[in-house]
Structure 1
Amino acid sequence: MKSSRLVSILLLLQTRGRMTAAQLAEELEVSVRTVYRDVDALHAAGVPLYGDAGHAGGYQVLAGYRTKLTGLNTGEAEALFLSGIPGPAAELGLGSVLAAAQLKLRAELPAELRGHVDRMQSRFHLDAPGWYAEDTPVPFLQEVADAVWNGRVIDVRYRRWKEPTEVDRRLEPYGLVLKAGRWYVVAGPWPRTFRVDQILALTQRGEEFSVPAEFDLAAYWQQYQADFRARLQRGDAVVRLTRRAAEALSVAWEPAADSAADSDADSDADGRTTATVPIESVDHAHGEFLKLGAEIEVIAPAELRDRLAGTAARLAALYAS
């Protein structure tokens, strides 16, 4: 809609400063001619917007001019309040800042939108960590966040899983990621990923650094997750499983177990489906498959089948006594 686009142009110029017609057109996915018409409409509405010609030209609003948030629709207002997760904000030392920002935003909303936002906040509560995740303290999170924001190098003593378990590292923290209730810092110059809760000691250096222009935190994290999954899935297991087992495995072994859960056509006389699922290792699969008891039977690899058979025999002997 044109009215929404006009508000978007005004907000873009307020937040980013000078922008050319071509830049605005690309951002809004419209033609440059459309931007020219929209700018004329803003002029006609009395918005103090002016443009400069030339290589360094572009549009900008008069210094000190601000618009109120009358351009928000119901969905946008609800999404803004829903995205303000208090737990992570508090961990970063921004809990009171978030509350103040939401209060100011709410005060600017029309009465009807305030009602929608209040109703939404009373009906939705976001709790990102899993059920069995421990409430692990992250004592150096705010220091890491400060180093990320200010581009400061930090020295850390870090605990890792392999020997030597405690190592010293010089980090150039590019960004922070919150994944399933756990904080990670992506740090250069490699870059690599570190769990913030495994930092045992931290010292701020006076040294500054710059994040490489080509580095994209979201793109890096997406690739990191893909590589992590690839490293975990080092083999396959052929199993016969009930629908109940297939549904239980679908979270950890997607999409192979998902296809088994969704298929009735290949079920045998016992109501079981044969499927191939990726596994991290024999040890890991042994523990995970034991949780399903007799709902799953491993056909291959033989090592995993023998391990499970041996464990089942020992359990039977233990309970028989």
Structure 2
Amino acid sequence: MKKEERQQKLVYLIQQLEHVTAAELAEHLNVSKRTVQRDIQEIESKGVHLQTHLGKKGGYRIQSLMNNNDLTLSDGEVYALYLVLKESVSLSTLPYQQEISAILDKLLRHPNVALRQTIQHMNRYIRIEQHTPMLLPSLFSAIVVYCQERKVMALEYRSDSSQQLLVENVVFIGLIVELGMWYAIVYHIGGGYTKKVKVSEIVDISYSFYKTIHTQDITLDNYHLYLQQ
């Protein structure tokens, strides 16, 4: 069975059975549980929203369009979320300023009257002085995807020392933050070593070879063992 056909059947099974586990889906499709989990990740990336239930009786069901982003938070968690996001508008270099502002606006219009009033009071009596941080490039979100794919990418960035524009074939391993500075950890294909590249210095990224490189043994926990000498 081809992957596309299998994924279509997987969605059909979830719809028909209403609530089904990965093990049950694997049995229906005659594949491994891991294959089912990979298929579900791909299906969700295509826009199909699934509810995941944890625990012994955990499983999957299709979300309705009305509640596909429902998230239950305690009052304290709502307050903390509001303050963290309010602070991040001023301090964060991440390219999600509009999204953060949209969430803050939704919190200020929270349907729970008591919560809404408390958040509005916080908004009135807590001020975080604004400054204009240098935002990371909009391709930040794409880098997160590339870290998962482990495909060979042509990375174009400026050298710290000379500001020379460099182009290298790399595989993205992950992202780290040191003293407020975001770095991409990459594996250099030609050199066989890892290196840190400032995300703010990245100019462009494109697929170089349409294949996945086996670098799963290199992680954010051990990348320093492979650093360029």
Provide the TM-score with structure 1 as the length reference.
0.38
Larger radius of gyration between Structure 1 and Structure 2: 1
Relative to its length, the structure with more helix (as a share) is: 1
